[in-house]
Structure 1
């Protein structure tokens, strides 16, 4: 091949077709733990394995699953951890820079992808920098926004500064929405790139509606069911959920509230709303059936980076009310596939919740539009976006090595 053709070659287009990646994915939460970060990250890992990439999963040892479960293409590296206050079922990874340096010197990954910013994530960042490994990161949790809900508002600026310092050392940081990208950019975060989240529309499907399940809740076919799914914690704005439900119940006495999730606010929710049907933590097909067997979904949180429950509720064909924020801002067209309230306007949120009572029946056009709006948000398109960003991070960190590999591929 002549030199002129070689000079015109686009290296970033060539390399993904030549080989698969070896990626170290670092996280402080992963299934069987149940939370949005763990579940969406597992979707990413499973999808990348299916696409032929090799994954080294680095995570704290879990009390519920203490043994490493290796599989084809995936190695699990378990690290030391401590329980997280208020969430003893979750673990906070302890510093482990030396162990990671030793492991990655022995078997060098093409890229280190860091999903959480705790001590383990920081250790992975420093180990990668020491070994000059490309790094990508994800901004998945608004820790600085959460601080005010735990009496730590005075730490808000300190936490934001730490997160900025953390992510600005990565080659790029993935964020789930354009609105969050703009917000973080104003705070000084650099090299931000938007990668959305997918939803499993085969799992979350109105066809999973289960009348037997509704009967176990004490609900008849003509009774509307209001659903909340999420962590039961101060940052989720559960007081507004209760206020909206109680106002709606004055309009429709047969309305029932079903709550899925657990957390430090569970007992307070039971006390303030004794009629609520509390189902605790749910996952898999059981969770999908609960979604499909409800009629309306309220999500009052204002601290989400995305909120995976929003696309799950839409895919399940529920009449949804949320703030114009995070996933709802990206996915909901007000009045078409859901209802939105201006951010922080609690009175408007309650009014929208009362309005949605007119749309609770399964054949309502809004519920049908909700389902249709999610059919194109499959995980394959998201995986392709992440794959593209990974190659971009590698190309930015090691342009000379990329050119050398491309030259060898062309000569072959």
Structure 2
């Protein structure tokens, strides 16, 4: 992609989730926001007020936060989704007009931002961060799959560009009828997530010795993450011949299924959600990353595990599809093929030399995925949308008095 020469711009980012919330969308949006600021762009961040926050405008100089009303998300009472705010956003953007708007979520707040932007003629770039259409089946709401796809197709086709997290997702969105797709991708911090953070004291607190193996899972503990396969995998492998008492399962994260999983996996260690250096140390102190999800748009935890020097076992989707090679830099099973998933996991446990090679290749690949390239690509997409709008406006004859 040709880089568009840098000129400082004014952008708005609209999102339902924001730090310090721990999820892939908040992590990615935080990176994009920081990257735009570092290049001296003016940024408006539109998000729902979280618990203890008041709605209104917070001015940080180059950055402004526009906090709107929200309501708790079912199953996640600590999080809020934004309520419609069309009139407020339209009034704000009339007096403080951005060059382009990035919509990260398709809920009521995203819809109202889309509506206000279209009424004002502000170009829109949208990002596809969550496969909500797949969640309907995970929650027994299969009848909503087709309406969800229709809504997402309509929503994203209102934008100049829709940014996909991975090449496999880009193909899936194209099959859904979403046009103007471009690949954004994701980066990983290879200085934070590093094998050197391996901590024998932490491993000892998990009850494992030098020669024992730690299987690790990191993520939201919710139905859409296919965690029944995590449970089945652990049940099948914890007493694997030759490894009796030498395997430990550690689960990092929180969510509505945590209590059920703790009951069903009583010999696993559940840490709750971790972040920063504490999370990086936990990654590096494990050996094999077990990731059974089938609904990821990308899966930042996959590249974090790779950067930490873990052997990743996953399905051939999203980040794993894009950045791993089966039995070279990870274990990749065809989508939903649990037999191959378990076979790969057994191989990673039993073949110490193969596991060592996989870990080295995974770390090497992850270190090619820095954030600077992603941030430059994101800024170029926003600037391209802004310039396309200016060209359209310039082609419209002005009225003569």
TM bucket normalised to smaller: over 0.9
Residues 1:250 and 1:91: Cα distance change in structure 2 (over 3 Å): same
Give the drift of 1:309.
0.5
Partner of 2:35: 47
Alignment partner of 1:210 out of 184, 199, 222: 199
Matched, 1:388 2:380: yes
Give the drift of 1:359.
4.9
Residues 1:107 and 1:320: Cα distance change in structure 2 (over 3 Å): same
- Structure 2: runs of 5+ lacking an equivalent: 397-401
**Does the residue aligned with 1:199 lie in a helix, a strand or coil?**
coil
Partner of 1:310: 302
Residues 1:218 and 1:120: Cα distance change in structure 2 (over 3 Å): same
**Does the residue aligned with 2:80 lie in a helix, a strand or coil?**
strand
Partner of 1:159: 148
Q: Distance in 2 between matches of 1:260 and 1:97?
A: 38
Matched ranges for 1:72-83 at <5 A: 72-83=61-72
Matched, 1:341 2:333: yes
Give the drift of 1:372.
0.7
Partner of 2:23: 35
Number of positions where the alignment pairs a residue of Structure 1 with one of Structure 2: 391
User: What whole-Å deviation, never above 9, does each CA across 1:55-109 have from its counterpart, x for those lacking one?
Assistant: 1100000116658765442111100000011111111100000000010011110
User: What whole-Å deviation, never above 9, does each CA across 1:121-147 have from its counterpart, x for those lacking one?
Assistant: 000000000110010000010101011
Partner of 2:138: 149
Q: Distance in 1 between matches of 2:86 and 2:74?
A: 24
Partner of 2:48: 60
Matched ranges for 1:315-394 at <5 A: 315-359=307-351, 364-394=356-386
Q: Distance in 2 between matches of 1:212 and 1:118?
A: 44
Matched, 1:184 2:173: yes
Give the drift of 1:248.
2.0
- Structure 1: runs of 5+ lacking an equivalent: 1-11, 405-412
**Does the residue aligned with 2:235 lie in a helix, a strand or coil?**
helix
Q: Following superposition, which runs of at least 4 residues in structure 1 exceed 4 angstroms of deviation?
A: 64-70, 359-363, 400-404
Partner of 1:266: 258
Partner of 1:244: 233
Q: Distance in 2 between matches of 1:114 and 1:164?
A: 14
**Does the residue aligned with 2:162 lie in a helix, a strand or coil?**
strand
Any conservation in 1 of the 2:287–2:311 contact (CA below 8 Å)? yes
Answer 1 or 2: which has greater helix percent.
1
Give the drift of 1:363.
8.4
Residues 1:185 and 1:82: Cα distance change in structure 2 (over 3 Å): same
Partner of 1:170: 159
Q: Distance in 1 between matches of 2:301 and 2:46?
A: 26
Q: Distance in 2 between matches of 1:21 and 1:60?
A: 24
Any conservation in 2 of the 1:295–1:361 contact (CA below 8 Å)? no
Q: Which one is further off, 217-226 or 321-330?
A: 217-226
Q: Which one is further off, 177-186 or 113-122?
A: 177-186
Q: Distance in 1 between matches of 2:363 and 2:58?
A: 35
Residues 1:71 and 1:294: Cα distance change in structure 2 (over 3 Å): farther
Any conservation in 2 of the 1:395–1:402 contact (CA below 8 Å)? no
Give the drift of 1:390.
1.0
Partner of 1:108: 97
Q: Which one is further off, 81-90 or 175-184?
A: 175-184
Any conservation in 2 of the 1:34–1:283 contact (CA below 8 Å)? yes
